[in-house]
Amino acid sequence: MPFISVSDEVAKKSFTSVENKFITKYLPVLEPMAVKVYLYSLYLYQNGQASFTVSDLAASLNMSEDEVKNYFEYLEEFELVTITSDIPFEVKILDAENVYGTPKKFKAEKYSDFAKAVQNIIKGRMISPNEFREYFYLIEEYGFEQNALVMIINYCVNLKGDDIRSAYIKKVAKSFADEGITTAQKVDEKLSAYTSSTPALIKLFNAAGIKKQPDVDDDKFFKKWTESMGFEEPAIIAAAKLFKAKTVEKIDAALEELYKNRKFDVKEIADYCNTKSSVYALTLELAKNLGVYMQNSAPYIENYVNVWCNYGYSFESLKDISAYCFRQGKNSFEDMNDLIQSLYGEGVVADISVGAYIKEKAAEDKLLKELLAACGLSRKIIDWDRQSLSRWREWKFGDEMLFEAAKLSSGKSNPMAYMNGILSAWKSENIYSPDKITAPRPSTPSVAAGGDHIEKAEIERHYFDLRHAAETRAEQALAIAMSDKIYGSLRRELNDLSIRLAFAEISDKAQAKEISDKMKSIEQQADKRLNELKIDKADFSPRYRCNICKDTGYDKDGKPCICMDEYLKTLK
């Protein structure tokens, strides 16, 4: 009878195939838990469990996700697997026949002194041959001096105790190797530098209520905070307390937020945290004023409201601006940001100047409403009306003359266009007061065209149609591009970065350059996507028929454009 046999019931069941070479060549030397990970991985693949993740595998084997990843790294050293992706974590199982996968054999006598030193350090348990093999592998593959690795192991044991796992020692050793620290001298310098910051870390941990001893990873964070970001120890402790951060990672996130908002002093940090809830309440009120629904307020606070507050705008000014934006039909945070960027560029920041700006714009809207009524119109004010008023002001017309023109335009098919024609004619005749309007009044201003008389309103209507068509085409082209998920995402990211750039250009030139470079890269990606969509970026800007007057019919001096002569010729 054979040494091993199976029942008929077992023979009928499904199986997971394992290469014989794995059993004969690798099984005797691999760590038991590594064998579990390898066999379970084979089972998942061969039984079509494609939806399984590394987290699922860890739960099935009652391990942590980090432990599973460490064992895959261990198996990778034997070339039984290869890790093809870290995020998401993906692994490919290799052929066990791989000639390069033969487990390395190390001469015990070569490392006898090293082995004794390590066993003397880890006194709480006997070190297995497999664990020693891993340390030998670190020496030969990563180029560690034996004394250097002994120093690292001693540091890890002092930190974690005798029951420390080899996986942690390997992780620390590899982090040293990544920095090129493999000699005893360099390891000593690294640990000495770390030791110098340990008291500060212990003080921070005690203040934050973190129940662990500082390690090398914590030291990296501390150097980042103090050297790269410029925080002093009292500020770091204040941030940890005020943000209630109970881990080093959470302290890092808090300091990143403070760094972005330029809060470095203890008092600045305290004020920022005290007003943080107020900023949240302000954001909700701004959203209400604008008519915006927010599923998550955090992006709006970070990308808009915090930036505006850092510009120096008070809560009351922001509320007034949001209410003004709603009245103007600008019902989004992005629209409000466009206005604030314009105001900020003109130096309109203080409450009194913001109030004066809104008052001035309200007065203009009131005037426009009255002008529309004088023209016989009852519709809402549109942007074209505001642009027209701005142009009439540039032409030096006062309110009295505007009402004179509005009265003459009443009853026409396109009163505002007709009014624009009247004012243009008056400007060309240097008529700026009612007493200079001579009979017959230019109530029906005309242009001769082959014996016929063409009303100015008809000309204005022609140019309005041209301009409206060009601008509508541009808006439609942009809307089509933005409907693409990839381009839309890139464009929104560019908008967010432009906000950050505006702030960085004032406070941090180095960061401004970094953001600018990133924007150039994203712009290139966006342009590439447009090429894939076969969309011309130039279509986003209106393609006016006449580049001189931009399809208004009048040049910058208010005189009829040369294209108007061409248009009149077509009417002959």
Per-residue pLDDT of 343-384, as tens digits, reads: 988 888 888 988 888 888 888 888 888 888 888 887 787 777
> How do residues 185-207 score in pLDDT, each as one tens digit?
998 888 877 766 777 888 888 88
pLDDT of 318 above 90: yes
Compute φ and ψ for 6, nearest 5 degrees. -130, 155
pLDDT band of 534, cuts 50, 70, 90 = confident
* 542-569: average pLDDT: 81
Q: What H or E segment, with its residue span, contains residue 50? A: none
Instruction: Enumerate residues 6+ apart whose C-beta is below 8 A from 544.
Output: 466, 467, 470, 550, 551
Nearest CA to 530 out of 488, 495, 471, 572 is that of 488
Whether 134 contacts 170, CB under 8 Å = yes
Per-residue pLDDT, averaged over 443-470, amounts to 59
Asked if residues 540 and 474 have their Cβ atoms less than 8 Å apart, the reply is: yes
Pairing between β-strand 90-93 and β-strand 446-449 as defined by DSSP bridges: unpaired
Please, which residues bridge with residue 446 across strands? 455
410-435: average pLDDT? 80
* Nearest alpha carbon to residue 290 among 276, 302, 304, 278: 304
Which CA distances in Å does 62 have to 50, 54, 445?
20, 12, 90
* Range from 118-122, 327-331, 383-387, 473-477 that averages highest in pLDDT: 118-122
CATH number of 20-101: 1.10.10
Say whether pLDDT at 449 is over 50: no
Alpha carbon distance 406, 402 (integer Å): 6
Q: Which candidate, 425, 380, 377, places its Cα nearest to that of 405?
A: 425
Domain boundaries along the sequence of the chain:
20-101, 108-182, 188-260, 268-349, 359-444, 484-540
How many Å is the Cα radius of gyration of the chain? 37
Neighbours of 417 (CB within 10 A): 23
Burial annotation 499-523 (CB, 10 A radius, 16+ → b, else e): bbbbbbeeeeeebbeebeeebeebe
Q: What is the pLDDT of residues 51-69, one digit of tens each?
A: 788 888 888 899 888 888 8
- Using DSSP's 3-state secondary structure scheme, residue 447 falls into strand
Q: Would the pLDDT of 296 be above 60?
A: yes
Q: Mean pLDDT across the stretch 147-157? A: 89
> Residue 445: which pLDDT band, with cuts at 50, 70 and 90?
very low
pLDDT at 286 over 60: yes
pLDDT, mean over the chain: 81
pTM (2 decimals)? Answer: 0.36
b (16+ CB within 10 A) / e for 327-342: ebebeebebbbebbbe
Give the integer Cα–Cα distance in Å for 219 and 210. 15
pLDDT band at residue 395 under the 50/70/90 scheme: confident
**Residues 506-517: tens digit of each pLDDT:** 667 778 788 888
User: Tokens standing for 400?
Assistant: 């009295």
Predicted pLDDT of residue 321: 92
Give the span between the Cα atoms of 64 and 57, in whole angstroms.
9
Q: How far is Cα 421 from Cα 464, in angstroms, rounded to an integer?
A: 12
